[in-house]
Amino acid sequence: MPDTYKAHTNYKAYGEQNLWRACIRQHIQDLFVTFGSGKKKLRLQKEAQDFLFIDNEMFNIICEAAGYSPINLRNEIRSLYKIKIQNKESLFRRVYKDLR
């Protein structure tokens, strides 16, 4: 097989992998979005939660196409999401305490 064909095949595979990584990255950004209108923001967050946290075959396929372990990636995202929730609760408690 000519070297140029191998290089083209590797480049194509790398490009496809980057496409799926961008898809995952977008869902993660939507999960943590802090800007935008209320309804749109909530819709994007809900869609991201469903995709990232509910077991579904599409998540596994996309992770594998991106070169990620679905289980490891989901666990990492859950950890980050728990930190986000804890920080929100902590901020709420501080604000509520100041208002009393």
What average pLDDT does this structure show over 56-61? 95
**pLDDT given at position 10:** 57
Please report which residue ranges of the chain form alpha helices under DSSP H. 3-31, 38-53, 57-66, 70-99
pLDDT surpassing 50 at residue 24: yes
36: left (phi over 0), alpha (psi -120 to 50) or beta: left
pLDDT surpassing 90 at residue 36: no
> 7-10 — which CB contacts under 8 Å span 24+ positions?
none
Contact partners, residue 24, CB within 8 Å, separation at least 6: 62, 63, 66, 68, 73
Q: Does residue 69 or residue 6 have the better pLDDT?
A: 69
pTM attached to this predicted model: 0.73
**pLDDT given at position 4:** 47
